[in-house]
Structure 1
Amino acid sequence: MLKDFFGKRKKYASIPSEQAKADVPEGLMQKCSGCHKIYYRKEMNKNLQVCPNCGYHHPLQAWDRIDTLFDDDTFEEWDQALTTGNPLAFPGYEEKVEKDQKKTGLNEGVVTGKGTIDGQATAFAVMDSSFRMGSMGSVIGEKIARAVENARVEGIPFIIFTASGGARMQEGLLSLMQMSKTAIAIKRFSESGGLMISVMTHPTTGGVSASFASIGDYNFAEPGALIGFAGRRIIEQTIREKLPDDFQTAEFQLKHGQLDKVVNRLEMKEVLSLLLKFHQKGGNEK
């Protein structure tokens, strides 16, 4: 009988890998990019794409992020119809944008709007790295600048979640101009007494890290997020020195005074809600 048991096991093991894969529904399982443990995808979604074992923060799409933070049915999207053109007639650019639009269901790499977090109104922008790696083009800059201006006019705070590989090369100088456009809008907002909270997620690099991502009244980041301007290899070649292993991580930035706090995604809504309440009451809440 024991022989039969092991014989059956051996027989099962001989099933071709293609057949074994076919027996598992596609998308049912997900491997953690940090510790490589395998989980049911539903379990990871329930945990907001944070690994229960090692705490690795996987990318979160824009609308999933909105669902984790805002009160039900309170989020109102702004400038949804604003889409990218091809101002420099860059070959193949329009096709790549259309492909990402179909893949993500987004018109661009950022969603803006307003809603309430625990009953407190706030303007909001969230970048999505699955759309052109969250690269900053003219439409992303325009949507963020408009969202900041709307927040100023309505007298509500502004929260942004950044995720970007930097400037969008297909738009050249027009992409780099968004650094100053967004920074000016935020300065005007700040001078009017507005509150801005910036949360940098993985990755926040290039022109985005050097402009609107880093000039909030509060600058937060998710654990392990890559934050920096130039790439590690370029910096090492330039200064001819070996950089620390944790260089450009959120934890490194916090240690050197570039961040106010590293916030776990599972605690993010609570932290943001607390700050909104604090500033709504003029800082008098105990």
Structure 2
Amino acid sequence: MAWFKKQKTTVEEPPRKPKTAEGMWLKCNHCREIIYRKEVERNHRVCPKCDYHFPISVLERIALLIDVGTFKEWDTDLEAQDPLQFQDQRSYKDRLKAQQDKTGRKDALVTGEGLIHGRKAVLCVFDFGFMGGSMGSVVGEKFCRAVDRAIEQKLPVILVTSSGGARMQEGTLSLMQMAKTSGAVAKLHEARLPFISVLADPTFGGVTASVAMLGDVILAEPKALIGFAGPRVIEQTIKQQLPDGFQRAEFLLEHGMIDRIVERKQLKDTLATLIGHL
């Protein structure tokens, strides 16, 4: 005979949470609010609460700026080499292959020509999805070839930047692209052809320190983060707290570093007007 009898207890199951489709909501990188993804997509991928402009793909950017069916891409076969045989946790060749498989393109810059409200122009767009839009030898070469074609055809050049800077896996060869692309812009100036730079979030490092800030007109998307070194690096270097909004497009406009902040939905009209005037 048992001295103790264990009572059977029934454990109530926790209420099941209603299933929600993954990816229906996203968090804004600026205001940190949770927002409905489809609402953002309907708004040209702009946050409806704070007007932050989310990064968009190269194809979305081209569709936004170029008349339908008029874009012709150039130099799609250019591919980076590995002259330094660079290796960290993975070899540079393996990293390149992985990025090419992921994005479907050879490197981080897409160049070509198309019509903007009927006006012919050369368009160069950085792909932040390809190794952070880093500028290596192929990026520099493609930009310079695009400039040469623009000079031959007497066309304006529009550059849309979204980059973390120079590509460390190519060392000094990557840093040399700063001088190379700057020299190409100088050739445009000599030919008296317009060069318009559009800074998207983020634009940093060697790209900011060279070609991105050399436009005859420099535009930026709202709240885009633009600079050379990151804010934390600067604070640690100068041992001072940085002002609010430091390195945002609005801060740069206030201090004369850029010419105008343009919302994404107005960018195509603004570029067409600038091309017409220039």
Q: Normalised by the size of structure 1, how large is the TM-score?
A: 0.87
Name the CA shift for 1:140/1:47 in 2 (closer, same or farther; >3 Å): same
> Unpaired segments of 5 or more residues in structure 1?
1-10, 280-286
CA offset at residue 264 of structure 1?
Answer: 1.0
DSSP 3-state at the match of 1:259 = coil
- 1:116 counterpart residue number: 115
1:240 shift after superposition: 2.5
Aligned to 1:145: 144
> Does residue 154 of structure 1 match 2:150?
no
Equivalent residue runs for 1:257-272 within 5 Å:
257-272=256-271
Letter paired with 1:15:
R
In 1, distance between residues paired with 2:135 and 2:185?
Answer: 17
Q: Which residue of 2 aligns with 1:32?
A: 28
Alignment of 1:1-286 (within 5 A): 14-15=15-16, 20=18, 23-35=19-31, 36-41=33-38, 43-91=39-87, 92-279=91-278
For the 8 Å contact 2:25–2:34, the answer to whether it is kept is no
Deviation at 1:46, TM superposition (A): 2.7
Count of residue pairs the alignment pairs up: 263
Deviation at 1:227, TM superposition (A): 1.1
State the match for 1:3 in structure 2: none
Change (3 A) 1:259 1:12: farther
Secondary structure at the aligned position of 1:241 is classed as: coil
What's the offset of the Cα at 1:26?
Answer: 4.2
Q: How far, CA to CA, are the matches of 1:151 and 1:231 in structure 2?
A: 34
**Residue deviations 1:125-156, cap 9 Å, x none?**
00011110011111111111111111111100
Larger radius of gyration: 2
The Cα shift of 1:28 comes to: 4.3
CA distance, structure 2, for counterparts of residue 227 and residue 13 of structure 1: 48
Deviation at 1:80, TM superposition (A): 0.7
Cross-structure match for 1:7: none
Shift of 1:242: 1.7
Deviation at 1:40, TM superposition (A): 3.5
Are residues 261 and 37 of structure 1, via their aligned partners in 2, closer, same or farther at CA, if it must alter by over 3 Å?
same
Equivalent-residue separation in structure 2 for 1:145 and 1:229 (angstroms): 22
User: Which segments of structure 1 move beyond 6 Å, counting only runs of 4 or more?
Assistant: none
Give the residue type in structure 2 aligned to 1:79: D
User: What is the TM-score of this pair, normalised by structure 2?
Assistant: 0.89
TM-aligned CA deviation for residue 252 of structure 1: 1.0
Write 1 or 2 for the structure with the bigger share of helix.
Answer: 1
* 1:243 Cα deviation from its structure 2 partner: 1.4
Indicate the RMSD between aligned Cα atoms, in angstroms. Answer: 1.8
Secondary structure of 1:228's match?
coil
User: CA shift at 1:100, angstroms?
Assistant: 1.4
Quote the Cα distance in structure 2 between the aligned partners of 1:118 and 1:13: 58
CA distance in 2, matches of 1:142, 1:104: 20
Give, in whole Å, the separation in 2 of the partners of 1:167 and 1:246: 24
* Structure 1 SS opposite 2:258: coil
Structure 2 spans left out of the alignment, 5+ residues? 1-11
The separation in 1 between residues aligned to 2:265 and 2:258, in whole angstroms, is 19
Shift of 1:207: 0.6
Change (3 A) 1:53 1:234: closer
Structure 2 SS opposite 1:77? strand
Instruction: Give the whole-Å Cα distance in 1 for the aligned partners of 2:232 and 2:14.
Output: 45
Quote the Cα distance in structure 2 between the aligned partners of 1:191 and 1:89: 38
Distance 1:30 1:239 in 2: 35
Distance change in 2, residues 1:136/1:45 (3 Å): same
